[in-house]
Amino acid sequence: MDRSVRILVRQRAENTCEYCKLAQLAAPLAAFHVEHIIARQHGGGDDPSNLALACFHCNLHKGPNLSGIDPATGTIVPLFNPRTEHWDDHFELTEAWIVGRTATGRATVAVLAMNADDLCQLRIDSR
């Protein structure tokens, strides 16, 4: 992936994870990843419209997943796409917890383990 594309993705995201909203400054020892929203193995490319900035935790949990199971309904739904959807439509931050407002939000919170103890603590510490 071209260096200029990586810079564009980081600037567009304002050095913040586009999934859990953790700022890079809150986790300075682990560089955030430029991740493929649709993984290469599923046909996703390096175009900026398919790239998002993700913290190490969200990227490792998301992997190549495109969908997840909504814990409230048990239905399979697409994961949140930061290029085509608005974060506030799917999530809200309550204290250090991210709460899914929609099926997509709930499934994304579950698959990415967005309320893992370490992430919640980083969100608390960065206030």
> Which among 107, 116, 110, 42 is positioned nearest to 80, based on CA atoms?
107
* Strand stretches in the chain, DSSP E: 33-36, 51-54, 67-69, 76-78, 91-94, 97-100
Q: Where are the domains of the chain?
A: 3-125
State residue 19's pLDDT score. 98
List the single range of 18-32, 73-87, 102-116 with lowest mean pLDDT. 18-32
pLDDT at 14 over 80: yes
Q: What Rg value do the Cα atoms of the chain yield, rounded? A: 14
Average pLDDT over residues 48-57: 97
* pTM of this prediction exceeds 0.85: yes
Residue-wise pLDDT for 109-126, tens only, equals 999 999 999 999 988 888
List the single range of 7-11, 27-31, 38-42, 85-89 with lowest mean pLDDT. 27-31
State the Cα–Cα distance between residues 58 and 47, nearest whole angstrom: 20
